[in-house]
Structure formats: C-alpha cells, structure tokens
Amino acid sequence: MRSSEANKSILTRIAAELGDVRRETLTEQLVQKLKSLILREMIVPGERLPPERELAAMLRVSRASLRGALKVLQIMGVLEVKQGSRTYLTEAAKEILSVPPRVLVPPRGLTQAELFEARRAIEAESAATAAERATEADLEEMRAEFEAMKMSAASYDVALYGKHDMAFHQAIADASGNTFFVWFLVTANKVLFRELWKRVRHIDVDSSLLGHEKILRTIEAKDRAAARAEMLSHLSYTSYFVDRGTLVDLCAPAIDSREIAF
C-alpha cells in the first residue's frame, strides 16, 4: 500500500513538472519545415518562393493551411509580400530564425496586467506611426473592420464584434509598417483576447465604437499625437479590467508561454 502511495506521489510530481504536452498544429509543422529549408539555405534571401498553389501541392497540404504558415513567417519578418502576391525571403530571415524560441516567446510568469501594460504602450505608438505611414489601402482595411464592428453590434453578436475589434487593431499595426508591432499584437491577442472575453458580462458598445471611431479619424487626419492619445484613452484599465463595477485582480493567473508560442 505504501509502495502504491509512493508511486502516486512520484507520478504527481512528474506530471506537475512536465505540464501539458502541446500538440503541434499543421500550421506549426509547416512553419518548422519552411524554417528548416531556410536555415539549410535551400531558399536564400531575396529569392521568390514558388506560387502558393505549387508550394501547397509539393507539401501535400491545403492552400489554406499553407497560407497560415506563410502568414506566421511574414509576421516574424522572415517573409515579405511585394508586387502583388509574390512572396520573398527577407535578408534577415536566417538571423530571425536562428534566435532561440525562448527569446521570441514571452517569459513564464508574465501576468495579464503586465501584458496589457505592454500592449497599451506598443499600440499607442503603433497608432501614432500608422498616422504617418498608413496608405489608402490600410485605411480602407481599418474602415472595413470598423463597419463590421458596427454591423456585429447591431445584430448583438458579441463574439463577432470582438473578432472585428481585434482585426481593427491588427490593421493599425499592419499600417504602422513595424514588424515588431505586428508580431507583438498577434502574440498578445492570442492571450488577452481569450482571457478578457472570459470576463465580459456587459459591453458598452456605443462607447467602444466611439473610441474606435476617434482612433480611426485621427489616423485618417495623419495626426500622430492625437492618434497616440486616443489609443491610450481607448485602452484604459477601466474599460478592460472592470466587470460590472468590480475591479478584476490585475495580478490574475500567470500566462503560460507555451500557450502562445508560434
């Protein structure tokens, strides 16, 4: 009996140490395959990748799956799309992929509050930079997501509203032209979006829409300072961490970095 209890104790300690085993998605597998090709210099900087259809056929995957992997590498700064839909390997690709994963993934023990603070700072500068650099195509993307938010609000579809809200902020990061801003927001939203929406009980849609509209108008006006200020005002602690008037613990459960690795 004692032996059985001892074995259970050992298994408990081992299980606690090992944690959950992440199952790699097809996208992650494709990223690893492409990473291997790049590090072995089978593809070199400046070289154009084969067309999406041909590359998907070579890898025996769907174009949708391949597109997800290419998007991840684009966000990381490994690939860039230019001249329409042509995808090229960047000069910094090998250097980026040579960085240990632990450097690219937020550290274990990072709290929701810390990540939110970082998001506020980065999104404020992202909005300011977008005000200077946004093209008409970038602005159209922001407008489209804003209109989709209004439609979702009108139909009382909270989940869809949240997705377009997130896409609106991502469009701003894209317009900034800063690869790190884009990468950080994708990573942060994988955690913040999931956790914050668990807490949502009521959304002041009118206030939310007004805040997004103010951000959009300042970016359209190319007003860097105003865009930064409106983003900071929008990403307030009150808006994000108050649930029916009760302050949510800002030192909430720590984020497990394994959950947000590419």
| 118 and 71 part of one domain | no
Question: CB within 8 A of 228, min separation 6: which ones?
Answer: 124, 125, 127, 128
The CATH number for 42's domain is 1.10.10.10
Confidence of residue 130 (pLDDT cuts 50, 70, 90): very high
| 74 and 158 part of one domain | no
pLDDT of res. 202: 54
User: DSSP string spanning 37-48?
Assistant: HHHTTSS-TTPB
The string of pLDDT tens digits covering residues 190-210 is 666 555 555 554 567 888 899
In a domain, 19, yes or no: no
What integer best gives the mean pLDDT of the chain?
Answer: 76
Q: Which of 47, 72, 99 is the last residue of a domain?
A: 99
pLDDT of res. 186: 73
Q: Give Cα separations from 148 to 153, 154, 159 (angstroms).
A: 9, 10, 12
| 44 and 136 part of one domain | no
pLDDT of res. 17: 58
The string of pLDDT tens digits covering residues 138-166 is 999 999 999 999 999 888 887 788 888 88
Evaluate whether 203 touches 158 at the Cβ level (below 8 Å): yes
The 8-class DSSP code of residue 77 comes to T
User: Per the structure block, which two tokens stand in for 206?
Assistant: 């009118």
HSE, side-chain direction, 13 A CA sphere, residue 93: 27
Q: Which contacts (CB < 8 Å, 24+ apart) does range 215-223 have?
A: 215/127, 215/172, 216/142, 216/143, 216/146, 218/127, 218/131, 219/127, 219/130, 219/131, 219/134, 219/139, 219/142, 219/172, 219/175, 220/139, 221/131, 222/131, 222/132, 222/134, 223/131
Q: What's the CA gap between 75 and 33, in Å, rounded?
A: 17
| 153 and 52 part of one domain | no
Domain of residue 185: give its range: 102-260
Confidence of residue 248 (pLDDT cuts 50, 70, 90): very low
The string of pLDDT tens digits covering residues 38-69 is 888 888 888 888 888 888 888 888 888 888 88
The string of pLDDT tens digits covering residues 4-46 is 665 556 666 665 655 544 445 777 788 888 888 888 888 888 8
Q: What's the CA gap between 144 and 256, in Å, rounded?
A: 34
| 250 and 129 part of one domain | yes
Evaluate whether 233 touches 90 at the Cβ level (below 8 Å): no
Exposed, middle or buried by CB within 10 Å (0-12, 13-18, 19+), for 9? Answer: exposed
| 60 and 144 part of one domain | no
The 8-class DSSP code of residue 107 comes to P
Phi-psi domain of 256 (left: phi exceeds 0; alpha: psi -120 through 50; beta: other): beta
Question: CB within 8 A of 106, min separation 6: which ones?
Answer: 115, 187, 255, 257, 260
Confidence of residue 176 (pLDDT cuts 50, 70, 90): very high
Q: Count of domains in the chain? A: 2
Lowest mean pLDDT among 72-86, 192-206, 212-226: 192-206
State how far Cα 165 lies from the chain centre.
13
